[in-house]
């Protein structure tokens, strides 16, 4: 199963569990009804005790909340999701455009790197089987030629092993990057499901006098968590754009026939480590868009996990690059 399919599974999970919010309406209606009784009685008693006319407009608040509870999946969730869906769609379109350009540039760079390696007589036989066979045919069977053949086989094998190690570590970082995105999306879906199912209870509690802030807190938290996805898409779009700019510069340098490419991918490895850590800052950035309390501990724990992951990945990257550099220096 591909990574995109896992994200689609989370979307389907949210859609499947959203109707469960209607099942909580029965409990919420009883709680809201009792709260409305006390709320109206308190306001009427206060007005009578002060010999003031009864203001009817504030007394309509419990009835409005009752209507929201009765039709919670349609009125509340449907309205909020309909308003925020264009934001998600727009940011995802931006991401798709950037990823499409990135894939084209990556293919172009890989082809130019191969051609540059083939142009260099010292590296052509390591990447091209035809050049390797051609160089073997030019050699004879004298002791010096046999030693040269053995050296060629060893260099070719060392190049393959070195390339395999680099590709393995690169794939590991890419897996960690995708896993970070999946972790954020999974936690987001869990928060949205909990807020959606228990939303009627939050609305019912807000009917009681003194708990009116529960309603605004629920709305701000739901919107804040919902915006994790578009912020994540914007972050991924930014990363894709940075990679595109790096690839464009590499392609421009590869256009020079005398340029020898650097295949160590050190910049890419460092960039992936930064990206992994950056993904876990999405809840914090979303909190800047709409302020929602109650997620401080989660954000702090996520940031600590991100720093640990970055330290481990950075240590692995440093070890790998250092070993490869040591081997090259010994040569």
Quick: pLDDT tens for 186-228: 898 899 999 998 899 999 998 888 888 888 899 999 999 999 9
Q: For residues 298 and 300, what is the distance between their CA atoms, to the nearest angstrom?
A: 5
The vertex-306 CA angle with 302 and 307, nearest 5°, equals: 120
Q: Which one is predicted more confidently, 184 or 120?
A: 184
Of 25, 17, 24, give the one whose Cα is nearest residue 67. Answer: 25
Query: How high is the mean pLDDT of the chain?
Result: 76
304 has pLDDT over 60? no
> Which pLDDT score is estimated for 272?
78
Q: How far apart are the first and last CA of the chain?
A: 43
- Pair of tokens at residue 330: 């010994």
Least confident range from 17-26, 41-50, 236-245, 258-267: namely 258-267
Region 30-42 average pLDDT: 84
Region 136-156 average pLDDT: 67
- Residues 170, 176, 178, 180, Cα dihedral to 10°: -150
180: confidence class by pLDDT, cuts 50, 70, 90: confident
For the chain, what percent of residues have pLDDT higher than 70? 73
> Which pLDDT score is estimated for 314?
47
> Which pLDDT score is estimated for 223?
92
- Pair of tokens at residue 31: 């709680």
Of 67, 10, 65, 27, give the one whose Cα is nearest residue 219. Answer: 65
> Which pLDDT score is estimated for 218?
92
Residues contacting 293, CB < 8 A, separation 6+: 217, 221
Region 240-268 average pLDDT: 73
> Which pLDDT score is estimated for 321?
42
């Amino acid at each position: 199963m591909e990574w995109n399919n896992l994200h689609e599974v989370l979307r389907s999970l949210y859609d499947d569990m959203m109707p469960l919010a209607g099942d909580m309406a029965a409990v919420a209606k009883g709680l809201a009804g009792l709260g409305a009784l006390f709320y109206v009685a308190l306001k009427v008693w206060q007005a009578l005790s002060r010999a003031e006319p009864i203001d009817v407009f504030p007394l309509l608040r419990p009835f409005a909340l009752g209507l929201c509870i009765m039709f919670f999946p349609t009125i509340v969730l449907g309205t909020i999701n309909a308003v925020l869906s264009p934001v998600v769609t727009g940011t995802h379109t931006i991401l798709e455009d950037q990823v499409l350009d990135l894939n084209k540039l990556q293919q172009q760079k890989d082809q130019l790197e191969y051609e540059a390696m083939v142009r260099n007589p010292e590296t052509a036989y390591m990447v091209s089987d035809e050049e390797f066979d051609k160089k073997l045919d030019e050699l004879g069977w004298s002791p010096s030629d046999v030693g040269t053949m053995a050296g060629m086989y060893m260099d070719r094998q060392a190049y393959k092993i070195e390339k395999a190690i680099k590709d393995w570590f690169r794939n590991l970082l890419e897996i960690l990057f995708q896993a970070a995105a999946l972790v954020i999306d999974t936690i987001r879906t869990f928060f949205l499901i909990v807020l959606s199912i228990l939303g009627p209870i939050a609305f019912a509690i807000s009917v009681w006098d003194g708990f009116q802030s529960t309603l605004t807190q629920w709305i701000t938290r739901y919107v804040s968590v919902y915006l994790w996805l578009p912020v994540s898409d914007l972050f991924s779009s930014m990363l894709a754009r940075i990679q595109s700019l790096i690839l464009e510069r590499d392609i421009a340098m590869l256009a020079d026939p005398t340029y020898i490419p650097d295949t160590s991918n050190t910049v890419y490895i460092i960039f992936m480590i930064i990206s992994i850590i950056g993904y876990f800052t999405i809840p914090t950035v979303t909190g800047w868009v709409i302020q929602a309390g109650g997620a401080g501990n989660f954000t702090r724990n996520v940031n600590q996990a991100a720093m640990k992951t970055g330290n481990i990945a950075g240590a692995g990257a440093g070890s790998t690059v250092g070993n490869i550099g040591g081997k090259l220096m010994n040569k």
